[in-house]
Amino acid sequence: MDAPSRTLVTGATGLLGSELVRQLVEAGVPVRIFRRSSSDVSILGPLVDDVEHAVGDLRDARSLLQAMDGVSNVYHAAARVTFGPGESRALHEVNVYGTGNVVNAAHRSGVDRLVHTSSMAAFGRPAAGTTIDERTRWNDDEQRSAYARSKYESELEVHRGIAEGLDAVIVNPSLIFGTGRKGHGTRRIVDAARSGWARVVPPGGSNVVDVQDVAAGMRQAMERGETGRRYFLGSENLSWHEIIGTLARAFGEAPPSRTLPPALLKTAAVVSETVSFVTRTRPVLTRDHVRTSTSRLEYSNERARSELNCSFRPFDVTARRIAAVLDGA
């Protein structure tokens, strides 16, 4: 009797990938994860023994092809996320070239479907006051970060694969919150609010979403998403005052009281980038960070709700969930 077909997850040792693995395992899906030999698997906890491990690298096409042997569905959630200057090449190698390798391996292996995790950063930027959704077109003339460009170009790789016969769907999460790993991603924002030190915030905002809802949305996209279609997975459009304030109150801390002027942030970013260049370290703050944190964009999740039947919890529910986990740790 043949062994049941596997579902492959890349990026399983990150915030989103680990939550997706948890949901799949709990649903009885046989899971194989694709990871580097040096990956820290601690975020998976006891799940690390409940999944198969395929070791390789997104830049190694052969290792991906081997990982997809006997696989029916692929969730590609691995990516490099950085906004530091001089990161364009590394971002392209992992996010664009690596996605191209995933697409090629999936096509050659005859997988049933690929769900590619992109980002809201891959959407275009319309005129002020216009709501952004999956139809908002990218404009090459826009001043965008190397990360945003790499995610947009990764989607082009997926569309190339579709043109060659691959069945694939794209999801575009907003800013994802969960407990995660200390010192990584939005956990740094959570810990700043938890410590009570986040009393000053940028003037902009972002769309935010719970990691559990994104993972559920990815599973819905695998089940019912339309081939070649994008689905924005985001909950609420909030200011940084609201985001940090909601987190702070969940931990019993005071909300932020002041807003940093954009000019001061830009000056600090230039200084930070200069210091990082001289010391060959990663900058604490970059000009791309400033452009992102001082803007206030509005996003619509209507397509995901109507076509995938997704639901997204309010951010205050997410904040209380995170606080309950971390304060109970």
Domain range annotation of the chain? 6-176+211-234+298-313
87-91, 176-180, 262-266, 291-295, range with the lowest pLDDT: 262-266
Q: Which fold has domain 6-176+211-234+298-313?
A: Rossmann fold (3.40.50)
pLDDT at 4 over 90: no
pLDDT at 234 > cutoff 80:
yes
CA distance 10 to 13: 8
Out of 44-48, 99-103, 287-291, least confident range: 287-291
Residue percentage of the chain with pLDDT more than 90: 71
Which of 1-10, 94-103, 185-194, 273-282 is least confident? 273-282
pLDDT on residue 144: 83
